[in-house]
Amino acid sequence: MKFGIQVNEGPFTHQASDSAYLFVKAAIEKGHQVMRVFFYYDGVNNANKLSAPQSDDRNLVKLWGALATEHNVDLVVCVAAALRRGIVEENLAEGFRISGLGQLTEVGMAADRLVVFGD
C-alpha cells in the first residue's frame, strides 16, 4: 500500500510526531511505501535542527532525518507554516525539504491512503 502522512504537531509537546514516526517505521518494515510525510501547522518544528532534547530521550528531529537518509522517505515542510514559525533553510534539519501546500494535495491524490497525525 502507498501511504501519504501528515504531521500536525511539533515534537514532544504532543505525541503526534512520535505516533507518526512509529507508524511510518512499521509501514516500511512491512514492505509498504511511504510516499511523503508532510509537516503542517506546528509539525514544521520537527524539522528544526536546533532541537536539543535530553540525551537519554529520543531525538525526533534526528529520527525523522534518518528515515529520509536510510529509506528515502520524502519529508516535506510547508513553506507558509514554516515561515510563520521560523523554520528556514539555515536551521532546517538534514533529510527535510521546504515546499508548498500543493505537495500535500499531490500526495493525497497519488497515495492509496493519507493518514493524519494531530491533536
Partner 1 sequence: MSDTEIEYDTEGVVKKFMYVNRKAPYGTIYALEVLEAVLISAAFEQHACIVFIDDGVYQIRKGQDTAAINMKNFSKTYGIIAMEKEDADEDEDMDMVWRIIVEKESIEARGLSADDFIVEVEVIASADLAEIMAEQEVVISG
Give the active site residues. 78
**Cell matching residue 19:** 505516533
Among residues 42 and 60, whose Cβ is nearest to partner 1? 42
Of 34, 43, 35, residue with least CA distance to 117: 43
Per-residue binder mask for partner 1 (CB under 8 A), 70-89, x = binder: ----x----xxx-------x
Calpha distance 16→14 (Å, rounded)? 5
Q: Return the H-helix or E-strand segment holding 104.
A: helix 102-110
Stretch that binds partner 1, among 17-25, 53-61, 94-102 (CB under 8 A): 94-102
Binding mask 25-44 for partner 1 (x = CB under 8 A): ----------xx---xx---
How far apart (Å, rounded) are the C-alpha atoms in residues 118 and 20? 9
Which residue's CB is nearer to partner 1, number 22 or number 80?
Answer: 80
Minimum CB separation of residue 46 from partner 1 in Å reads 16
**Grid coordinates representing 61?**
528531529
